[in-house]
Chain A
Amino acid sequence: MDFEELVRSPLDEPLRTSSAGWRSMVTGLVAGVVGAILLISVVGGSGDEIEGSLPSTSHTPTTEVPGNTVPVAPDYPAGYEELAAGVAARPSELIIGEETITVALTTAVKRNTDPQAANWPLGGVWHLETPTGTVVESERIILGRFSPGAFAIEFPSAPFAGDTSFVRATMVERWDHTDISGSVDLPFRGEPFLASDSVTVRLTDDVMLTIPVLELGRFLGSVEWVLRGTGDTGGRVLVEATLLDTLGNAIGSYVSFPVLLDPSESGTIDLRWREPFPTSQEGAVSVVLNYRVALVEIVATDISVDLAAVPIGR
């Protein structure tokens, strides 16, 4: 297979768009009209002016209001547990491997919130628990490269016999984060590009980001990064490098993806050329390095997802 196929996903192509938004607007318009009329009818008139009895419905869940029953839509799809404000998760499968046990989860944003503005990704420390109370701690959190709405918690399988069942996974520590974004302009010195000088950026009064190595090859690149001043907590770093020509036009860009969510004080991230393939750096005279640093704050939590009815795979 060629390199393009190696890193491509079925969802890389922008094949899905929705026309639901405009229908939602029309629905909202109708609801607004009806709601306003109802409000004016109720508020504007006295009790004597309202005649007849109001019909009720039997939908659940419901919220009782005087004289009526209004259905309340759930915040999340069925079975989802809220991990943090606006984001919930549900286990889709428990996968038993030779060395690891993987709890796979999908996520959902709160109803009527923008998925593109969600506080994601969120890592943490999880505990996996058996019916007899044996608990093991997670080793790492893996984000779905081809679908970042999915993530997996990896546990060591060594403490458990092959036929062990599991009742729940509990997030005992959540890695909340504050994102800081910015950009640095660098001269482009030819292919393969290797930045000659270390780049240092002040993120806050206390925290500095240093990029000692930036390399951009034809298909791939890499960035080494160091965070200073975060204490023991650390963070995560994402980078996008865009090549510009003499007129300031973008020739192409390299992007990174946070496969592992564990915070650190230093690391190396891979960059890959954003499609389409093949590519060329010809004509590039400068590089704009956009960075996004997630400064992690550890928060104690006690949020469980039920595993008793989750399918088990191999």
Chain B
Amino acid sequence: MTSALRFGAGLLVGALVSGAASLIWFGPDTEVVAATTLPTSITPTSATPVAPWFEEGEALVDATVILPGPLETDDGVVIFEYELVGLSPALVEHEDAEHGGDIVVLPEKWVLTTGGGAEVEAVTGPRDQSVRFELVAPDDLIATIHLVGWRVATPFGDRVEIPVESGTSGSLRSGELTIVTVLDQTNSTIVQFDFERSGGDWEFDGLPRPLDPGWRLSGRDGGFQLIWDGDDAPELIVLENGAFEWRPATGNILVLDTGIAP
């Protein structure tokens, strides 16, 4: 069940239960409680600069929500756990209904501010779910944690032309594509490729596919290969690639406020 459905279910159940309880409690002629205390319960009391998407205290970065988790300190080392929930549409229904939407932002650069005003920086990678800070003074109190840098999901089109010869290569956005072997068979030509990535953890290439449908694509250990049936294989292969990068972005998003003034 999604958060929205749960919220709705809770709303309905709460309304029905309290409605029934009210009828029993108040009765048809019971004096109505003074309304002066009621509205404050349903309106936020703080002027939140950005409306929280799920609940107050959760940080919204682009279309991804950061859910603050436990904050633990041990001898000057601070571990702050977080979870990400995507608000972007998902293409497939995940078996885990709590998976939510697609995640288009991954946190990267963080700043912790201590009660004394000192700032401590930390960096996280694409698979991390916690950030680790090392305090200068182990007894420092923690005031806030801000996210100051993140990565945004960005697809690209990419295209490369490679002559069908062993040893030739072509560049993609995040690496070098090389023809390792050209195998001339009786009734076909097999071209085996290696792909050497030059990008880091934030850049990915999909599987390049040939524009000419005469080439058949198949996998092999260590790379992939193209197969041309017949003895008239072209001298040039044009490959198109759905490249993908997590591109850097900056800002200053308050993720955790302990209430201690820096």
Q: Which residues of A contact B (CB under 8 A)?
A: 1-3, 5-11, 13-42, 44-45, 49-55, 57-59, 68-71, 73-74, 77-78, 80, 87, 90, 92-93, 95, 100, 102, 104, 106-109, 111-116, 118-121, 140, 142-152, 154, 192, 215, 217-220, 222, 224, 257, 259-260, 268, 270, 272, 311, 313
Question: What are the 5 closest A-B residue pairs judged by CB atoms, nearest first?
Answer: A32-B14, A149-B88, A28-B10, A115-B101, A219-B219
A147 B103 Cβ-Cβ under 8 A: yes
- Residues of A with C-beta under 8 A to B19: 36, 39-40
A270 and B43 in contact (CB under 8 A), knowing A15-B129, A28-B8, A51-B36? no
A313 and B247 in contact (CB under 8 A), knowing A106-B153, A107-B89, A152-B157? yes
A14 B99 Cβ-Cβ under 8 A: yes
Answer yes or no: B213 CB below 8 A from chain A CBs. yes
From A1, A11, A29, A268, contact of B195 by CB (8 A): A1
A31 B63 Cβ-Cβ under 8 A: no
Q: How far is the CB of B240 from chain A (nearest CB, A)?
A: 9
Question: Which residue of chain A has the shortest Cβ distance to B88 in the bound complex?
Answer: A149
- How far apart are the CA atoms of A22 and B1 in the complex, in Å? 9
B197 A1 Cβ-Cβ under 8 A: yes
C-beta contact mask, B127-168 vs A, less than 8 Å → 1, else 0? 101000000000000000000000011111100000000000
B55 A20 Cβ-Cβ under 8 A: yes
Label chain B's interface by main secondary structure: mixed
From B38, B84, B104, B152, contact of A37 by CB (8 A): B38
Question: Which residue of chain A has the shortest Cβ distance to B127 in the bound complex?
Answer: A10
B104 A52 Cβ-Cβ under 8 A: no
Q: How far is the CB of B31 from chain A (nearest CB, A)?
A: 7
A10 B219 Cβ-Cβ under 8 A: no
13 pairs, A vs B, C-beta closer than 8 Å: A14-B99, A25-B9, A28-B6, A31-B11, A33-B14, A49-B32, A53-B36, A100-B157, A106-B88, A109-B101, A114-B2, A146-B244, A219-B218
Question: Which residue of chain A has the shortest Cβ distance to B248 in the bound complex?
Answer: A313
Label chain A's interface by main secondary structure: mixed
Q: Which residues of B contact A (CB under 8 A)?
A: 1-19, 22, 26, 31-36, 38-45, 47-48, 50-51, 53-55, 58, 60, 62-63, 65, 67, 83-94, 96-106, 126-127, 129, 152-157, 195-197, 201, 204-207, 209, 213, 216-224, 242, 244, 246-247, 249
Question: Which residue of chain B has the shortest Cβ distance to A238 in the bound complex?
Answer: B91
- How far apart are the CA atoms of A73 and B157 in the complex, in Å? 36
A18 B85 Cβ-Cβ under 8 A: yes
A272 and B207 in contact (CB under 8 A), knowing A16-B129, A41-B33, A220-B219? yes
From A148, A220, A313, contact of B102 by CB (8 A): A148
A21 and B153 in contact (CB under 8 A), knowing A15-B127, A27-B10, A29-B10? no
- Residues of A with C-beta under 8 A to B98: 17-19, 21
A26 B10 Cβ-Cβ under 8 A: yes
- How far apart are the CA atoms of A146 and B145 in the complex, in Å? 28
